Chain A
Amino acid sequence: GQQLNQSPQSMFIQEGEDVSMNCTSSSIFNTWLWYKQDPGEGPVLLIALYKAGELTSNGRLTAQFGITRKDSFLNISASIPSDVGIYFCAGYPGGGADGLTFGKGTHLIIQP
């Protein structure tokens, strides 16, 4: 099946630093989504991208849908303690009728 390669697997940063993570796939995705999951909870949608080249912001978060439709990145600026969690990229490889394919996640840890 479809696979998403997400990196890095984990990040240890200082509060206030910027964060960047990305996802790549071997095949074209029509939609890219970025979720955050806190321990013991379901994923919460952060940003949704629907068009190649699209750049979308949500507060301190910015994500882009790659031109090739095979990659996406998420940036977090000026990290704060509540940014700690696991970030997943996800997408629909087809027309959107299917369930989501998830990346393996990036575990963000912020050191005071």
Chain B
Amino acid sequence: GAVVSQHPSWVICKSGTSVKIECRSLDFQATTMFWYRQFPKQSLMLMATSNEGSKATYEQGVEKDKFLINHASLTLSTLTVTSAHPEDSSFYICSARKVGTDTQYFGPGTRLTVL
């Protein structure tokens, strides 16, 4: 149990376009999901906390108008990278916290490449 999926697993887009990444908890409910970004050979950095039915909370330095987060249900959160630029190229990983626990389960990540 406690499986988290992400879609797509990888995406290549042109500079200036928008890309949507989905994060789903497949077999449990998650009132809170988190979005992380990982650059090559670096650690995971928290971007934002996504709460079901409310606005996301963004970490310092993360532009909320550029990284739009929607958490419409207890099993789905989406991250939209708007007007993507090459510097947005990264590995985006979501996690979902199982209701009633502190444990976060991570998705397999989405590799975004912006040309």
Contact = CB atoms under 8 A, between A and B. Distances in A.
A99 B109 contact: no
Chain B interface residue number, banded? 20 to 34
Contacts of A1: 60
A99 B103 contact: no
Interface of B: 4, 6, 32, 34, 36, 42-46, 49, 59-60, 91, 93, 95, 102-109, 111
Interface of A: 1, 31, 35, 40-45, 48, 50, 88, 90, 92, 96-105
A41 B108 contact: yes
Interface of B, helix, strand, loop or mixed by DSSP? strand
B103 A100 contact: no
Given A31-B102, A45-B104, 9 more contacts: A35-B106, A40-B111, A42-B107, A42-B108, A43-B106, A48-B103, A88-B44, A99-B46, A104-B42
Given A40-B109, A42-B109, A48-B103, A102 B43 contact: yes
Contacts, number: 53
Contacts of B107: 42
Given A40-B109, A42-B108, A96 B102 contact: yes
A43 B36 CA distance: 11
Contacts of A42: 4, 6, 93, 95, 106-109
Contacts of B46: 98-101
Contacts of A96: 102
A100 B109 contact: no
A99 B45 CA distance: 9
B36 A104 contact: no
A100 B104 contact: yes
The CB with the most chain B CB atoms within 10 A, among A90, A98, A104, is that of A98
Contacts of B106: 35, 42-45
The CB with the most chain B CB atoms within 10 A, among A1, A45, A100, A101, is that of A100
A103 B43 contact: yes
Nearest to A99: B46
